[in-house]
Structure 1
Amino acid sequence: MFRTGTPRLQFRWLMSQEHLELVELVPGAREFTVIQPTELEDPAEFLIPGAIILTVGISFVDGPERLTAYCRTLADAGATAVGLGTGLVFDEVPAELITGARAAGLAVFEVPRHIPFASILGAVGDERTRLGNIERQQLINSQELLSQHAVTGGLEAMGRKLSEVLESAVSIVDNDGRSVLRLDRGTRSATAAAVASIRTGRDSAGPTAAGDGFTYTYRMSSHGERCHVLAMESPGPIGPSGRALIRHAAGLADILLQRPAHLRAARAEMNTMAMALLLGVENEADTVDRVFGAVTDARGRVRPVIIHGDHTGTVERAVSVVDDALQSRGRYLYNLWVGPGSVLLLFRGTRGVRGIMELLGSSAAEVRVAVGSPVHWRELDTDMVHDLVIDAKTRPLGASGDSARARWLHDPAVRAALDTRAAQTWERLVDHDRVNGTELAETLVSYLRGHGRIAVCAATLGVHRHTIRTRLARISEVTEVDLSDPVVRAELLLVIVTRTGGE
């Protein structure tokens, strides 16, 4: 994409245009650049490499034997094919032209007299317009893609996408020659070109040959004493649309490197917290207060929420939906992964369950949600989070509500009983699956979370209900339990959600 030179069209495409009625006599050409009608016997100095020549052969009416040398002249000038219009000078394509074209490696086709050359030129022009529209749309799509990566992933994510789209190495250096971004591609690196541009004070909007590749450098805006250069090294020349994409990327990088005041202040606060943690300093409370100030209510309370899903992707999508909804309300996202498939979110203490579910939108149907009670942010601890995770895991998909904090699960006697029962049941299944390559543990999890409904379990796992029944029978044999007993199912569900790796 976005490669340059004169854009080439497929010769096969031209031959497939039925309304032109072209007759291919000597195959061989793959691509062409332009259509050039000419009646000169020696048009070499006017030819564009890759051209298809259209002629009626006026120059050869009294000497068709010269067509053999004519073909050699065209081939040496870079032409790819000859189209001869018959019915005016020659009633059919001369044998000398066919013989000479084969010897010179040119394709030959016949243009019937009733087909004007202008029709061929018009068809090619229409195809170029169509391809140009496609390339413009590709440029717009790529620009939007770069912008999205710049917003969500910053400078490096944007640079990686630029490198991928243009298949080129990317580098950004500052005015001291220090590397801000370096994304090599195989053995290619654009860092030397960026540094050279900084030192010479020159950049190149067009390609500069560099060994077996081409380099492009763009000097970005100066900010006080600071300035940056973006450089690309590509295996081939990049066309106008590709260079427009590079300029767009340079503009995005410029914005990201300016470090707006509010982003700089936020980064300074994070730096302060990191230093305090490193040195064990206890006076970082003011900074922490400011950080959590955006998520607390007037009483300093937050509402912890756990989103849990059977697949990481569904949880990531749900968090993204919440982030978008919060952004539209001028709020920030506070999230932290606290285990496989589980994310902790913090909301203002005054935000209710319904309001939280509205933020999740349609993604709520794909996850399990446990909403904790409002608590001052300084009182939030890992035990609360752990209880919420357990609560979320026991809920069916799409279910939500205030969490009943299962503190009793931390009782040593309860934990000991669950550990014993896990060794007798869950761990046996895990070992059985590992040895036999079965999927009994996953089936049991789906069955219990689906409230013991075989149809729900089968739909979740994408297998037939008979298969689920066979697996459940085998699970009962391995664990020596009666899965038809609801008390046993409840017991096993508690065992599973409190196990490490019980996903």
Structure 2
Amino acid sequence: MNAGIPVRWVLSQPELGLVLKGGGDGLGRSITLALTSELTDAQQWLSGGELVLTTGMGLPLSRADRLRYLEDLDRAGVAGVGFGIGLSHETVPEDLVETADRLGLPLFEVPLPTPFGVITKKVMQRLAEQEYEKVLRASRAQPRMTRAAIQGVRAVIKELSAALSATVLVVGSDGAIAEAHPRQPAAEIVDRITEFLTTRSDGAGSGVIQLPSRQYIVLQAITAGQTVHGHLAVVTTTALSSVDQVLLGHASSLLALDFEKPARLRIAQNRLNSQAMAMLLDEPGDPDTMWQHLATAADRTGRIRALVLWCASPSDAGQALKTVDTQLHPMNRQLFAHLAGDRVAILLPGSDNDETAEQLLVGLPAEVRATTRAGLSAPHLLRRFNAAIEHAELASSAAVPGARPLELAALAGHALLAFPEAQRVLTAVSEAMLQPLVDYDERHGTDLIASLRAYLEAHGQWETAATALGVHRHTLRSRIAKIESVLGVQLDQALVRAELLLAVVAHR
């Protein structure tokens, strides 16, 4: 749990060629940093856990000073000393070896071909791997603890115990051990916890107790507001790392929520649990109970609409969701919503319209409303609510920020050009198809594109198109022939006319 790697791990790396000379009793010391120093008083800048690498260049000349050099490093909490040979010293001085044995401070020989930088890199890479492993372990443990919270206190501390490889206790507000995993603690541990808590006047004691047996008891108060529900205690053989403390805090928060859970929330939880059991007892793949749960979102005909809000940020989306909930409350209506990043999807009865949807946004801060795009689907059967949300998303992508919710049906006739992605594609197609006509008009001072548009919008009716242009139909026939020649197409083909009409509209 504690950060660092044992000195024996460094010595076990064959490619480094390190040879232990003294201090073998301290091979379990933890290295948290590797550094090079030729200073005789390096201990002034050390905080403990360092692996000091030196060539002995600045080593004191007298035996007494050399012994003091190692003693000072040992008092500073150094994990070990690597002595490079072949430069200022051919071998590790024997008096240093004797002192290292006496102190239990690992002293090893670094051969000349092994650069200090390689040792430092090896140590730092291993430390980085350990930190990643801890974060990965925590990222896996937190969801397991969260899921376990549904089953109660015992399940949470079981997951925490497994994650920390430690004994976990829940101490009630009365000071008694309420839960323990994997086993009940020794009497010594209970006595020390009781002693520690009775000395705290606020009752919210959190701290670390070190036992003579070299065990640690880490206490975390389980609090909700000003209320102290008890304490979470972890009994370990090493101090908790920062990642372990995050897991402890997460477990404490989950337990606080469990202790604070009001009666009505428990009733709702029981109801959901009953529904979950009913789903499992029903035929697989037929979650009727969940559809029944969603049915209250529909109108009397069983239809719903989807309102989708795209906001400028996740915090704005959260604010929008709170505003909608506030507006629904006096209507005695439940909130059926899904929040994902910047997007909020809300189910409304199919009988609601854009005015109702707009009313739900009243109260949203002006700066948030000004950047929010709202889209509203047409009424759908409840079981097609996924399609309703998709349609509302399309409408919101074409909506103007700050404007009333846009209904997808309102885009009829110009829907393709309303969506940015479709607009970009059509513009590119338009440029590719019509460029020969654009070039021809520029060279000859004509306007064949206008003639093409009139002809296509008139569905190929010569009289109608000619009248719209104010020319004789024979003149229009001549222009259309020229257009077919320039573009290399035949306008009597329906698909060609359809593509060219989209291209002309996009060109405009």
Structure 1-normalised TM-score?
0.45
Structure 2-normalised TM-score?
0.45
